[in-house]
Structure 1
């Protein structure tokens, strides 16, 4: 059984991420993560009851897309 500390090769945890995790990962305030979600500009999240979670693979993809867009600009 994998522990919560197990990580993917990219360094992200091998578990669903919380908004706090996203804020820490990108070095932004938690309110920024919530604004991204409201504006649909941040990594895609999903609800589990009243909680928002993020798939680490989707966060990686979103990050790669942002990096590619910046390089193309």
Structure 2
């Protein structure tokens, strides 16, 4: 992936579809692979997603909420 795509995946609201991220964009953001995200969906792990036919999209709000819920606070 290009540097611009990697940067876009880290900027809120700048995914290909504005307020949604593709699995490829989310994989870059989380530092994991697209197949790992597919496994998470199968196991019902990770952020909520929208499925329209075969297309999978992650609402940015759901991704940010998932990140908040999984943030470990250090003393």
Structure 1 runs of 4+ off > 3 angstroms?
none
RMSD over equivalenced CA pairs, Å: 2.0
2:55 pairs, out of 39, 51, 54, with 51
TM-score by length of 2: 0.71
The answer to whether the aligner puts 1:71 opposite 2:73 as a matched pair is yes
Listed as ranges, the matches of 1:1-73 within 5 Å are 11-12=11-12, 13=14, 14-67=18-71, 70-71=72-73
CA distance in 2, matches of 1:48, 1:41: 19
Q: CA deviation at 1:11?
A: 2.3
Alignment gaps of 5+ in structure 1: 1-6
> TM-score normalized by structure 1?
0.73
